[in-house]
Amino acid sequence: MPPIVAIRDLARFVGEQVTLQGWVTHRRSKGRIAFLVVRDGSGNCQAVASVQDVSADQFEQLARLTHESAVRLTGVVREDERAPGGFELQLAGVETVQLAEEYPIGRKEHGIEFLLDHRHLWLRHKGPWAVMRIRDEIVKACRDFMYERDFLLIDSPILTPAACEGTSTLFETDYFGAPAYLSQSGQLYVEPACIAHGKVYCFGPTFRAEKSDTRRHLTEFWMIEPEIAWAGLDEIMALAEQMISHIVARVLERRSEELAILERDTTKLESVTPPFPRLSYDDVAERLTRPDIVARAQQAGAPPFQPGSDLGALDETILGEMFDRPLIIHRYPTAVKAFYMEPDPERPDRALCMDIIAPEGYGEIIGGSQRIHDHELLARRIDENGLPEQAFRWYLDIRRFGTVPHAGFGMGIERLVAWISGARHTREAIPYPRTLRRLYP
């Protein structure tokens, strides 16, 4: 029996007989010769048979193979520069494992909604295949980056009793008769853990019942959230900038084939190195109120930026386009940010927080801050925000037993994947997107 080989490894088997297991993506016959292209998840390979190479029955089978039929092909590996992937299989045997029914995704252009309705099949195609491989590399790069810097993984719960990022985007579930909410962020749970371990992170799915129907919003997305004891805003800005640069460099190094499939302009990624520009919210507000920028927002039909308010999607796009690498914006007004953010001692109406805006219009990819560590102040902020004190008792406890300054951030994986791979929409950056209008498949 010839060895079963992945297409990726064919180079090691030139001149030998092997078996490939895969799915038919193309088939054509020219008289006494049949050509197939198969995909096995690791790559694509062309296979060729003339009528005398295989049995009459097998040659018949070849002629009947439909798009996405599952096959086992046996043959000798030949080097051929003209073949996709550089190798070709000279067929000696074919086994049809399943003859596929008429495949719904054709060669013609399909609309995005049709493709998303068939996401379970669309995942096989070149574009999604490349994006998922880039996503995998990004996730691995995140975990390696944390591990190499002695951050401990602390998994946070998904079922929670309280809100972290505002009560208007909570998904409520029935927890044996009492309300429970799907986690919006693991932050509240990594804060206590950083007091136990110094440097920690969580990495998992998070949920926002967000009524925003934009290319940046999912209702279920993955977030990595480091948290560091004895750290402040400067430390997390430095960490975030190193982390993003590390991830981009790693994808450029190991996923160049996938970036090429997606026709990603990699020169735009090569400039992503520290230091990133750092602007305060007030610097940014000054830029956004310049007449030329105001005119641009008007043209785009977006409401003009109001100093003191949070940034809108278009504001972030405009700012992101001003630089060739991610932009760090720090010290937003406390009034527009979350209840747990430490006020700037030099200017208490500004928070010790930062957002990182990706270039090329991908918007905010990171949000983070130093956390309030004073018990009285935090209790007051919880009360002012109308949050139920009972549900936050344990969180306030951390401020009663050896409280110290600490800081962290959250990075949304899909926005990062969309930006790095050049996908138009975050829904293409996750295998099975959940959005305002989609819970299928």
Site of interaction with ligand 4AD (CB under 6 A): 164-165, 185, 187, 208, 210, 217-218, 221, 223, 225, 364-368, 408-412, 414-415, 426
How many residues in total does the chain contain?
441
Residue type, 109: E
Instruction: Work out how close the CB of 375 gets to ligand 4AD at its nearest, in angstroms, rounded to a whole number.
Output: 20
Residue whose Cβ sits closest to Mg ion: 367
| Residue 286 beta carbon to ligand 4AD: minimum distance, rounded to whole angstroms | 23
Count Cβ atoms within 10 A of the Cβ of residue 401 and give its class: 0-12 exposed, 13-18 middle, 19 or more buried: exposed
Report the candidate in 425, 409, 439, 423 with the shortest Cα–Cα distance to residue 219.
439
| Paired strand residues for 174 | 179
The angle subtended at Cα 198 by Cα 371 and Cα 189, nearest 5°, is 55
How many Cα atoms sit within 13 Å of 268 on the Cβ side? 16
Q: Which is nearer to ligand 4AD, 74 or 206 (CB)?
A: 206
From 207-215, 317-325, 366-374, 416-424, give the range in contact with Mg ion by CB under 5 A: 366-374
CB-CB neighbours of 419 under 10 Å:
25
CA 382 – CA 386 distance, rounded (Å):
6
> For ligand 4AD, which is the closer residue by CB, 135 or 208?
208
**Residue 165's binding partner out of Mg ion, ligand 4AD, none, with CB under 5 to 8 Å set by partner kind:** ligand 4AD
| Residue 385 zone, left/alpha/beta (φ > 0; ψ -120 to 50; rest) | alpha
366 contact, one of Mg ion, ligand 4AD, none, CB 5-8 Å limit per kind: ligand 4AD
- Whichever of 132 and 407 has its CB closer to ligand 4AD, that residue is 407
- Tell me the closest approach of the beta carbon of residue 221 to ligand 4AD, in angstroms: 4
User: N- to C-terminal Cα distance for the chain?
Assistant: 39
Q: Which is nearer to Mg ion, 22 or 367 (CB)?
A: 367
Radius of gyration of the chain (CA): 26
Q: How far is the CB of 329 from ligand 4AD (least distance, A)?
A: 12
Q: Nearest CA to 90 among 106, 74, 103?
A: 74
Residue 285 or 353 with smaller CB distance to ligand 4AD: 353
Using the minimum distance from each CB to Mg ion, give the nearer residue, 40 or 225.
Answer: 225
Among Mg ion, ligand 4AD, none, residue 164 binds (CB under 5-8 Å by kind): ligand 4AD
Q: Is 128 in the site for Mg ion (CB under 5 A)?
A: no
Residue with Cβ nearer ligand 4AD (68 or 225)? 225
Alpha-carbon gap, residue 134 to 138, rounded angstroms: 6
Min CB(406)–Mg ion separation in Å: 19
The entry of ligand 4AD, Mg ion, none that residue 221 binds, CB within 5 to 8 Å by partner kind: ligand 4AD
* 233 binding partner (options Mg ion, ligand 4AD, none; Cβ < 5 to 8 Å by kind): none
User: What is the smallest separation between the CB atom of 184 and ligand 4AD, expressed in angstroms?
Assistant: 6
Residue 343 lies near Mg ion (rule: CB under 5 A): no
H/E stretch holding 115 reads helix 112-117
Contacting Mg ion (CB under 5 A), which of 192, 343, 367, 433?
A: 367
Q: Which two tokens stand for residue 94?
A: 């074919």
Partner that binds at residue 410, options Mg ion, ligand 4AD, none, CB closer than 5 to 8 Å by kind: ligand 4AD
Tell me the sheet residues that pair with 27.
36
CB of 225 to ligand 4AD, least distance (A): 4
Beta carbons within 8 Å of 103's beta carbon, 6+ residues apart: 66, 67, 68, 121
Nearer to ligand 4AD, 90 or 169 (CB): 169
Nearer to Mg ion, 59 or 332 (CB): 332
Give the span between the Cα atoms of 104 and 141, in whole angstroms: 35
Decide: is 408 part of the binding site for Mg ion (CB under 5 A): no
Six token digits for residue 241: 């900038």
Q: If you ran DSSP here, which 8-state letter would residue 384 be given?
A: H
**Which positions lie near Mg ion, rule CB under 5 A?**
367
